[in-house]
């Protein structure tokens, strides 16, 4: 079992008690970002899947820090998505700096 499978099973086990699940996911750093660091749900966005990986690597410190690891499969529908437009916005913000 790889780490992502284990984490997804862990999240599924937490969901057995919806109240406990909501408390834990809102207060604890249990979700890995795309850099491998654990973050709170409120600090993350889902990768919409259309962001060029080379751009993500360039913007690693700016953007991947706040993107949920795409291998995490849990029902966090309230986590916002970031798409290619967000990447371009980040680049523009850096340029105008």
**Residues 7-53 pLDDT 10s:** 888 888 888 787 888 888 888 899 998 888 899 988 888 888 888 88
Are 38 and 31 in contact by the 8 Å Cβ rule? The answer is yes
User: Which domain does 41 fall in, by range?
Assistant: 3-96
Count structural domains, the chain.
1
User: Whole-prediction pTM value?
Assistant: 0.56
Cα-based distances in Å from 14 to 8, 10, 21, 41, 69: 10, 6, 5, 14, 18
């Amino acid at each position: 079992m790889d780490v992502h499978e284990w984490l997804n099973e862990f999240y599924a086990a937490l969901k057995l008690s919806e109240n406990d699940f909501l408390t834990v996911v809102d207060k604890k750093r249990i979700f890995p970002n795309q850099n491998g660091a654990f973050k709170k749900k409120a600090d993350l966005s889902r990768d919409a899947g259309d962001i060029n990986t080379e751009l993500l690597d360039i913007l690693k410190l700016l953007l991947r820090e706040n993107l949920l690891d795409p291998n995490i499969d849990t029902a966090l529908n309230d986590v916002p998505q970031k798409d290619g437009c967000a990447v371009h916005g980040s680049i523009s913000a850096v340029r105008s700096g």
